[in-house]
Structure 1
Amino acid sequence: MSQLPLYQQIKRYIINQIDSGIWSVGQRISTELELTEQFNVSRMTVNKAIRDLVSDGRLQRTPKLGTFVCQVQDKAESPLVDIRNIAIEVTERGQSYSNKVIAQSQISADEATATKLGVMRGSLVFFSEIIHYADELPIQLELRWVNPEFATDYLKQDFTEQTPTQYLFDACPLSAIEHSVEAVTIDSKKRKLLKISESEPCLLLNRRTWSGNNLVSSALLYHPGSRYKLSSTINLIPR
């Protein structure tokens, strides 16, 4: 008898069904109830196996229709210790880049924004919310707050033609960055924008950038866990 946990046994069964061609790309797999009865386990155990495979990009859940086999694709990748224009990243992978500007306005900084951007609470700051696509598939939701003192023309930009990153590169030459990364679940509005299921986690990159001694921008970058990865390469030179 297999020593693997039950949910891992179910995952292996589903993967074998896919890899053997029994369940092809786009085909609906057995329902959770059918798998529960087949393996004589709880619904929670089956749900755990399916959620893991959704996160791995092997399955996709469609509300009221079922769970379907996905086309396996390489995940998009960004460097963790550097900043690159996402439009260039996408086109260099041979994909078509596009975006949709959800918001671009001047707002009053709440306490959290003021802390992250290093301004007084109630200060007027620039805000943008943009969803980025690769071949029409959402790969990043960008929420960005900008200090208007250092990027005065931010709201005048057409970000469907030039990304915020590119504008800030040109207007405020980069001198330092601060990154933190965590796995998070997100609310229904963000899930809808990223076209992911309720159970799929996201990679959240929290980024702040400086130009000289000036803290210019703070951004939250949400990436679907099944479509994106962050990487870094560090050269260690012996002393």
Structure 2
Amino acid sequence: MTDQPKFAQIKQHIIDKIRAGAWQENQRVPSENELSDQFQVSRMTARRALSELTESGVLTRSQGLGTFVASFKSQSSLLEIRNIADEVKERGGNYTCIVLSLESISAIAPIAIALGVEMDSLVYRSIIVHNENDAPLQVEERFVNPALAPEYLQQDFSQTTPHEYLTQVAPLTEARHTVEAIMPNEEICQWLDMFNEEPCLQVIRRTWSSHGIVSFARLISSGSKYRLGGHLTFKK
């Protein structure tokens, strides 16, 4: 860590505090002056660290109030975690997929926090388009903790889904997600074969096994082709 530039050391310090739970969502973090005193650096260096973490969504700044830990928009799941291939087959459809990417990447701050790993450490990333009857149904971008699924990159995801594989090697014990409507970018429109700009349904999901956080996934579907549902039973 001592070989890192000072602004990077400050960023890692903040990320470590958030990841350890010492700084909670919406909690105020030290100011530029406080960080410059603590790390014996200029205010400009401290400002760069806070600005870069703000730009990446880890922090949020409020004029006149300070800088705070951003909300990660996670909440307890009320929906059953299902394998999309099973959903398609249960509807009588034909499931196929296209693997667009399967690689190792360096974890930027939001991914590192989501997976509970060091910033810039290697994590696995996959991008897969799930099809129903040869028509794109959902784009899945998933980041995986290599420590819990070391052979992830060696899998043939045309034969099994990431969900199926991860359930086998790191059985699911907890999941949290947020669901929201988004406007897709050009790349998402291309992957989902969308010619008209329309809202998409985006699910951001983190999953845990008994040994830690397994994956962080972004699932995007055309709003006109996909919906989520659930059934809740309340005790009297």
User: For this structure pair, what is the TM-score category when the shorter chain's length is used for normalisation?
Assistant: 0.5 to 0.7
Structure 2: how far apart are the matches of 1:151 and 1:145? 11
> TM-score, with normalisation over the residues of structure 2?
0.66
Equivalence for 2:174: 176
Residue 235 of structure 1 aligns to which amino acid in structure 2?
T
Equivalence for 1:210: 208
Equivalence for 1:193: 191
**Matching of residue 90 in structure 1 with residue 88 in structure 2:** yes
Equivalenced residue count is 160
Q: Deviation of residue 213 (structure 1)? A: 4.5
Could you tell me which of 210, 231, 234 is aligned with 1:233? Answer: 231
Q: Any runs of at least 4 consecutive aligned residues in structure 1 with deviations exceeding 2 A, and if so which?
A: none
Q: Deviation of residue 197 (structure 1)? A: 3.3
**Contact 1:184/1:202 (CA < 8 Å) preserved in 2?**
yes
Identify if the C-alpha distance between structure 1 residues 80 and 202 changes in structure 2 by more than 3 Å, giving closer, same or farther.
farther
Residue 206 of structure 1 aligns to which amino acid in structure 2?
I
Instruction: Note the 1:22-61 alignment, pairs <5 A.
Output: none
Identify if the C-alpha distance between structure 1 residues 125 and 161 changes in structure 2 by more than 3 Å, giving closer, same or farther.
same
Cα deviations by residue, 1:106-156 (Å, 9 ceiling, x for unpaired): 111011211211111101000000000000111100000000000011001
Q: Deviation of residue 181 (structure 1)? A: 0.2
In structure 1, stretches of 5+ residues that fail to align are 1-78
Instruction: Note the 1:43-192 alignment, pairs <5 A.
Output: 81-192=79-190
Equivalence for 2:220: 222
Structure 2: how far apart are the matches of 1:135 and 1:171? 29
**Contact 1:80/1:230 (CA < 8 Å) preserved in 2?**
no
Identify if the C-alpha distance between structure 1 residues 139 and 169 changes in structure 2 by more than 3 Å, giving closer, same or farther.
same
Greater RCO (CA < 8 Å, at least 6 residues apart) = 1
Structure 1: how far apart are the matches of 2:229 and 2:159? 27
Structure 1: how far apart are the matches of 2:139 and 2:93? 18
Structure 2: how far apart are the matches of 1:99 and 1:210? 25
Structure 2: how far apart are the matches of 1:116 and 1:164? 18
Structure 2: how far apart are the matches of 1:89 and 1:189? 25
**Contact 2:175/2:207 (CA < 8 Å) preserved in 1?**
yes
**Contact 2:174/2:207 (CA < 8 Å) preserved in 1?**
yes
Identity %: 42
Q: Deviation of residue 198 (structure 1)? A: 4.6
Residue 135 of structure 2 aligns to which amino acid in structure 1?
L
Which has more radius of gyration?
Answer: 1
In structure 2, stretches of 5+ residues that fail to align are 1-76
**Contact 1:180/1:206 (CA < 8 Å) preserved in 2?**
yes
> TM-score, with normalisation over the residues of structure 1?
0.65
What RMSD, in angstroms, separates the aligned Cα atoms of the two structures?
1.3
Residue 97 of structure 1 aligns to which amino acid in structure 2?
Y
**Contact 2:184/2:197 (CA < 8 Å) preserved in 1?**
no
